[in-house]
Amino acid sequence: MIPTSFPSKEEIARLTAGMLIEIGAIDFNAAEPFTHASGKQAPTYVDCRKLISFPRIRATLMDFLSVTVMREAGFEAFDNIAGGETAGIPFSALVAERLALPMTYVRKKPKGYGRNARIEGVMTEGQRVLLVEDLTTDGGSKLSFVDAIRETGATCNATAVIFYYGIFDGVEKTLGDHGVQLISLCTWWDVLAEAKARGAYDTATLETVEAYLRDPAGWKPA
C-alpha cells in the first residue's frame, strides 16, 4: 500500500527521534565518548541498523520515509529505488515495496570477479533513481554511490535517509553542488529535544551532548 497521508514533517521528526531512543539506537555517554570511523571522539552514537529487528517501528518509519519522499521530491519522481551497501539495503527494499518500484543496490566497490559490478539488480539507462541509506553524516559516501548509479546512464538526484546528523557545515551544499537533494526524517537536534522531553538522560549528559552538537569540530572530552 502506498502511504499518502501522515503527520507534519515536524511531528514525523519528533516521533522518529522517540522511536530511535525507545529501541536503544541512540546512545549518549559523556564519561566515555565514542570513537567514530573518522577517529574523532563524540558523546553521541546512533545505530539505525537496530530498526530492522523492531517490526512495528520499522514499518512506521518506512511509511514516514516513503511519504516524505513523495512530499519533498514528488509522487512520480522515481523509477528505481537503490540501497547503499550494506545498511541501506533493507530500507531500500521496504521503501521500494511501498512505492511499488523496482529495487537495486549499490556496492561500495566492485566485487572483484564475475561482472565486477557495483550495481546489483536491474538498473537501466534513463531511469530516475532514489538512493536510500540509513543515515548521513557529512554526505561523502553518498557521492560515491550516486556516481556509480550515474555511470549506468541512470540519473540520481536525491537520497533519502532516516537519520541526518545535521551538525556539520556544508553537507547539503556539497550534495546540492553534486545535484543531489537530501531527504531525511530527523537530526541530532530532534533527538536531543525528545531526550530532554522524556528525561531520558541526566542533565549533565544532555548538556555535554548539546555542547558537542553546537561545536562538533572543537569539542573535546572533559
CA distance 218 to 167: 12
pLDDT at position 168 is 94
- Identify which of 67, 75, 26 has the alpha carbon closest to the alpha carbon of residue 48: 26
| pLDDT at 115 > cutoff 70 | no
CA distance 177 to 61: 28
CB atoms closer than 10 angstroms to residue 55: 9
| pLDDT at 112 > cutoff 90 | no
What's the mean pLDDT in 143-160? 96
> Given pLDDT bands bounded at 50, 70 and 90, which one contains residue 1?
low
> Given pLDDT bands bounded at 50, 70 and 90, which one contains residue 80?
very high
* 118-141 b/e (C-beta count within 10 Å ≥ 16 → b): bbbbebeeebbbbbbbbbbbebee
What's the mean pLDDT in 61-76? 96
Pairing of strands 44-46, 26-28: antiparallel
pLDDT at position 110 is 80
H helices of the chain, in order, are 9-22, 55-73, 88-99, 140-150, 171-177, 188-198, 203-214
CA distance 101 to 98: 8
Q: Which residue has the higher pLDDT, 94 or 3?
A: 94
CA distance 117 to 109: 8
Dihedral of alpha carbons 186, 92, 47, 6, sign: positive
Domains of the chain: 9-214 (3.40.50.2020)
| pLDDT at 11 > cutoff 80 | yes
CA-to-CA separations, 194 to 16, 19, 39, 73, 206, in angstroms, rounded:
10, 10, 28, 27, 11
What's the mean pLDDT in 92-109? 96
CA distance 189 to 44: 12
Find the largest Cα–Cα distance for the chain: 55
90: amino acid identity, one letter? P
CA distance 58 to 19: 9
| pTM of structure | 0.94
pLDDT at position 38 is 75
CB distance 47 to 55 below 8 Å? no
160 bridge partner residues? 132, 183
